[in-house]
Amino acid sequence: MKLLFELSGEHPELPAAEIGCVGKVLQTAPQVAIANCPIPEDTKRLSQTHVVMEYLGECPAERGAFASLLRDLSLVPEEPFSCRIKRIHPADLPASKMDLERMMGHYIDGTVSLKNPGIEYRAIFSDGHCYLGRVLHHIDRGSYAYRNPMRRPFFHPGVMMPLMARAMVNLTGVQPGGIFYDPFCGTGGIMLEAACIGATVAGSDIDPAMIGGARVNLPHSVCFLADTANLPIADRSVDAVATDLPYGQSTAIKSGSLEQLYTQSLSEIQRILKRESRAVIVTHQDISGLAGEYFEIIHSFSQRVHKSLTRQIVVLAQ
């Protein structure tokens, strides 16, 4: 099914890349993506998307062109409907939102209901183009707040927030029932998001305190002490890996250097991953050169966390 996605604006590229776990992206624009997705219900796992729609059509961001598109579609909804306009930038709209929504209501042959619509039609104006869709569902991003690290039984500062952790899981492409592993699991936040989409999860860490906390946070998952330089895991036994590599000085001392730690970790991740599987690695320095020695680099993203910290997200394939 051809779907239209209204994306979050948290990153210019990562939200569209995340859609790759449920379909094939056909085209993109700022905060917009169009993709073929065989099972639309699967899109509910996305964290960097606001709204998922059935794709109805597109046109230049001009009032006359929009009217022609609506006229040609001859939409006749079987339930009361509402119309919504989303502008990505103020300059994208050829008229006021109210004027455009009224025009949609004029050309759609049915009963308008703003209080209790059974169908929502949504037009997104982005980068000189208008994209029209029928809403299938809104992503409940607020539900991630219930998995905020501070709400968990065991908390440790500096952990990744659930929205980004879910994006990392999705970028691996792991499916329900697949084996997901985090070799630097910490308190288990990335594992928790993998478990939420139905994966079989496991994690390890070299710090006993972190493993104890992860076992409290995920009592039904496998958490064990392990050195990533020598993982007690069979070759080609894991479907997906996502992890946030440590970067503190204490970690460097334990492993000799961060470069040595990263090299050994990437080598072991490459060993345990099944063929044609993916790993998503988050670091706070560019490891593209090192990672390229063990994997094919599918994506590489840079995300500013705050003034002194930039996060690197690298998607790797066997």
Taking the model in full, what pTM does it have?
0.94
Domains and CATH numbers, the chain: 2-138 (3.30.2130.30), 146-317 (3.40.50.150)
pLDDT value, residue 318:
87
Contact of 203 with 182, CB cutoff 8 Å? yes
pLDDT value, residue 248:
64
Tens of pLDDT, residue by residue, the chain (318 residues): 999 999 999 899 999 999 999 999 999 999 999 999 999 999 999 999 999 999 999 999 999 999 999 999 999 999 999 999 999 988 889 999 999 999 999 999 999 998 999 999 999 999 999 999 999 999 998 889 889 998 999 988 888 999 999 999 999 999 999 999 999 999 999 999 999 999 999 999 999 999 999 999 999 999 999 999 999 999 999 999 999 998 765 554 566 788 899 999 999 999 999 999 999 999 988 899 999 999 999 999 998 877 777 889 999 998
pLDDT value, residue 257:
83
pLDDT value, residue 252:
47
Supply the DSSP string of 83-124, one letter for each residue.
Answer: EEEEESSGGG-SS-HHHHHHHHHHHS-S-B-SSS-SEEEEEE
Question: For 295, left (φ over 0), alpha (ψ -120 to 50), or beta?
Answer: beta
